[in-house]
Structure 1
Amino acid sequence: MATSTPPNAAPNAAPDATPPGRSPVDPAELIADPYGAYGRLREAGPVHRVTGTDGRPAWVVTRYEDVRQALGDPLLSLDKRNALPGNYSGFALPPALDANLLNMDPPDHTRIRRLVSQAFTPRRVADLREPVRRTAAELLDAVAPDGRADLIAAYAAPLPIRVICDLLGVAPGDRRDFRGWTDALVAPDPQRPSAAKEAVGAMLAYFGQLIARKRAHPEDDLLSAMIAARDDGDRLSEDELMSLTFLVLFAGYENTVQLIGNAVLALLTHPGQLAALRAEPGRTAAAVEELTRWDGPAPLAIRRFPLEDVTIGGVTVPAGETVLLSLAAANRDPARFPEPDRLDLGRSDTAHLGLGHGIHYCLGAPLARLETEIALDELLTRLPGLALDADPAELRWRASMRTRGLIALPVRF
């Protein structure tokens, strides 16, 4: 994104050019420092019409109350068919992967979410506590003798991958390069423009074979239950079944990888907060909420398209244009959180939007919270002397404005 207009500009006016060197939404800065970049937009006004790197317009919403209300507004559609022709240029998935909850409105969204939400009830998530703890312990036991590790590759990534595969019923021998596939979609390599297409093809082939095996030999797992729901009651189309499998696997671990990595980095760069958490390990669940507010996995919510002209923060947004809700800006809004840029694990008010709000609230949020809580507890218990093994300024972030996550997190212990 490179240019913006004042909040009171005419809705359909072309954006004014931002003076060179003063762009408040430079793409590189949004990756390196989304809180500073979106924060400047928030201070300048509640809603900004910007021009994306693809040359298409979008509206960025920055303030907590506006973002929270917009997240639950039924007039803001997730269905790409409600975008103005030529206005939206998101990556085009084939129908077999595109018919998922991130592209749906009620009633289809309600029907499909009700089915899969059975896997994430508080009771079922609570039943996963000990299996998650055992997996975390195994991963840390494997690296403990080395004294050094990349905590993303050795811990933050494999932990949620194992958990979600166990939930779906994917046997260890059947697991593939899920992280490589999702990296190709979320943070594409400009040197390999064909990588995203190749990843989609690999996922289609893999999920097709996996569903066929589960249909032939059903077990007591989520994927078998979803197949049975389709085959017995015809409640899911084949594309919906494939897309839902993709989404549960993708969203079931992608956000959690970033959440764990960002949380560990936050603690290692705030030694006073780390010491306080070590002194009171029973506070880890509450700490996860503040860590999510302070540096969550998603700077932006999934894009929306108004079904009719809507007013957000006093600004009229035309029907069909792209609306981007900045969770990063909302979670650091001083009108909602005192001293929002300060990490405070003792903060009593942590009503953040880091995992969304409304009917599109993150389906796997209870599981992500549980995994992050256990990941931190086990890490601080099993790796004494844990410290960052690199200059924080030299850490590399994934090249994506949609997700906030480290490529690697070198630590010593």
Structure 2
Amino acid sequence: MTQATLRQIIDYSSRADPYPLYEELRRTPVFHDGDGPYAISTYHCIHSLLHDPRISSDARNLTSTAGDPLAGQEESTALPPSFLRLDPPDHDRLRRMTNRPFGPPHSPRRVHEMRGELHGIVSGLIDGIEGTERVDLVDQFSYPFPVTVICRLLGVPREDEPRFHTWAETIAASLDPDPDADPAERGSVSHNARMELGMYLAGLIEERRRKPGDDMLSQLATVQGPDGVMTTMEALSTSALLLIAGHETTVNLITNGMLTLLRNPDALQRLRDDPALSVPIVEELLRFEPPVQLLPQRTTLTDIEVAGVTIPKGASLWLMLAAGNRDPLRFEDPDRFDPDRKDIQHLGLGSGIHSCFGAPLARLEAQVALGELARRLVNPRLLEDPPPYRQNAVLRGPRHLPIACDDIRP
């Protein structure tokens, strides 16, 4: 195997179906050609490293990014790193503080109690496509849904939601660069959007400190616990993380999910007949078509041995989640979409201390979205297969998903 295989994986020509390349990569569980990242592609090795304290998520620990074809593609936010890109103890402190207003044990029902609101948002979006001969599921459904959810979660005033949507779309575009666009212009537009969003959130945080409500932003800005209170910059970086990471992954999960269901009409019909099937379907989708394909630029804090290969301190790692999810040594018949699959401990939402913070919300959003699409769309069908994909190899999903249906059920 040569380094070209890693470049093929991130090459746009492979975006519609990277899985044969992942199969090839798994033949060398720890691949390195002497210049570039170490690519880890088998399930058990990836799972072990996600739980290994000798692996860092802090880019400042990288000794070199030479030869890494994804180096430099992460956009600067002009904010301190979110806890996603920090190591303990800073990671643990910020994650604990963020979790207090988001989930158990302090806020055990916050996500569950959003179920009715999620149904309302989904119903409104599906109502909006009625009478349309050609529907772009991404632009008309998958993109606006999670941004609206994040707005409601944070407590963005309804009248400000359109501005928030615009900023989110601009930032999302910066994560999915157009190769034909002017990089300087794209960078300037993205930077301006991030600065405007940052200033808006900073104002909202100060307002919530003066007059807190029951939204998550109020709690991030004011609640005191054993770890103290978040600074304004920490609350800003955490809010931006909830927007960008939560939004991007959910868009891909819903869009990849609907694409997979339309390619598997029996599973779509089963979901239409039994809404409870949305739970195992989403879990199988997280294995079969994960919204995050790989975790780049993880770093070794010391020399470590993986599958008989010594990886030196400061090396860059790519943890190939999507390859691990289809490892035949872990999953039987891994290239088959099977909603009845048992023992489905996938890597679709990561694992260990950096497992997806928003996983409960992402799961619920996808379950509600796919369940309602299956129930309400009459004879839905793909108009283009494969659809056009996004440029981004890490956050993989269709940029557009053109579909048609005969009618919309009430």
In the other structure, the counterpart of 1:38 is 22
Is the alpha carbon distance of 1:152 and 1:184 closer, same or farther for their aligned partners in structure 2, counting shifts above 3 Å?
Answer: closer
In the other structure, the counterpart of 2:183 is 193
Is the alpha carbon distance of 1:215 and 1:189 closer, same or farther for their aligned partners in structure 2, counting shifts above 3 Å?
Answer: same
* Cα shift at 1:283: 1.4
Conserved 8 A contact 1:303-1:322: yes
Distance 2:237 2:14 in 1: 29
Distance 1:288 1:201 in 2: 36
In the other structure, the counterpart of 1:315 is 309
Task: Identify which range, 333-342 or 176-185, moves more after superposition.
Answer: 176-185
Conserved 8 A contact 2:65-2:316: no
Q: How does 1:209-248 map to 2 (within 5 A)?
A: 209-216=200-207, 217-229=211-223, 235-248=229-242
**For 2:129, what is the secondary structure of its paired residue?**
helix
Give CA deviations for 1:33-52 in whole Å, capped at 9, x if unaligned: 2212112111x21011158x
In the other structure, the counterpart of 1:257 is 251
Q: Residue type of the partner of 1:57?
A: G
Conserved 8 A contact 1:120-1:363: no
Q: How does 1:9-408 map to 2 (within 5 A)?
A: 25=9, 27-42=11-26, 44-49=27-32, 57-87=36-66, 89-91=71-73, 94=76, 96-118=78-100, 119-121=102-104, 122-175=108-161, 176=163, 177-190=166-179, 191-194=181-184, 195-216=186-207, 217-229=211-223, 235-390=229-384, 392-393=385-386, 395-408=387-400
Distance 1:111 1:49 in 2: 34
Q: Residue type of the partner of 1:366?
A: P
Conserved 8 A contact 2:59-2:297: no
**For 1:128, what is the secondary structure of its paired residue?**
helix
Give CA deviations for 1:175-226 in whole Å, capped at 9, x if unaligned: 3314433333321123220213431332122222232233124322111222
In the other structure, the counterpart of 1:410 is 402
Conserved 8 A contact 2:62-2:316: yes
* Cα shift at 1:286: 1.2
Is the alpha carbon distance of 1:104 and 1:26 closer, same or farther for their aligned partners in structure 2, counting shifts above 3 Å?
Answer: closer
Is the alpha carbon distance of 1:132 and 1:231 closer, same or farther for their aligned partners in structure 2, counting shifts above 3 Å?
Answer: same
Distance 1:101 1:26 in 2: 26
Q: Residue type of the partner of 1:101?
A: F
**For 1:299, what is the secondary structure of its paired residue?**
coil
Distance 1:306 1:90 in 2: 19
**For 2:38, what is the secondary structure of its paired residue?**
strand
Q: Residue type of the partner of 2:389?
A: W
Conserved 8 A contact 2:201-2:236: no
* Cα shift at 1:80: 1.1
Distance 1:92 1:336 in 2: 31
Task: Identify which range, 314-323 or 225-234, moves more after superposition.
Answer: 225-234
* Cα shift at 1:29: 4.4
* Cα shift at 1:25: 4.0
% of aligned pairs identical?
Answer: 37
**For 2:127, what is the secondary structure of its paired residue?**
helix
Is the alpha carbon distance of 1:22 and 1:140 closer, same or farther for their aligned partners in structure 2, counting shifts above 3 Å?
Answer: closer
Distance 2:245 2:77 in 1: 18
Distance 2:133 2:77 in 1: 46
Distance 2:348 2:362 in 1: 12
Distance 1:343 1:77 in 2: 33
Conserved 8 A contact 1:144-1:383: no
Task: Identify which range, 60-69 or 23-32, moves more after superposition.
Answer: 23-32
Structure 2 residue runs of 5 or longer lacking an equivalent are: 406-410
Q: Residue type of the partner of 1:307?
A: L
* Cα shift at 1:229: 4.3
Is the alpha carbon distance of 1:192 and 1:219 closer, same or farther for their aligned partners in structure 2, counting shifts above 3 Å?
Answer: farther
* Cα shift at 1:133: 0.6
Q: CA RMSD in A?
A: 2.4
Conserved 8 A contact 1:68-1:357: yes
* Cα shift at 1:69: 0.7
Is the alpha carbon distance of 1:233 and 1:208 closer, same or farther for their aligned partners in structure 2, counting shifts above 3 Å?
Answer: farther
Distance 2:6 2:65 in 1: 28
Q: Residue type of the partner of 2:200?
A: Q
**For 1:145, what is the secondary structure of its paired residue?**
coil
Q: Residue type of the partner of 2:388?
A: R
Q: Residue type of the partner of 2:20?
A: G
Give CA deviations for 1:244-303 in whole Å, capped at 9, x if unaligned: 111011112110000000000000011122223223322111111011111010110253
**For 1:123, what is the secondary structure of its paired residue?**
coil
In the other structure, the counterpart of 1:14 is none
Runs of 4 or more, structure 1, over 3 Å off, are 21-26, 85-89, 91-96, 229-235
Is the alpha carbon distance of 1:112 and 1:341 closer, same or farther for their aligned partners in structure 2, counting shifts above 3 Å?
Answer: same
Distance 2:403 2:6 in 1: 36
In the other structure, the counterpart of 1:7 is none
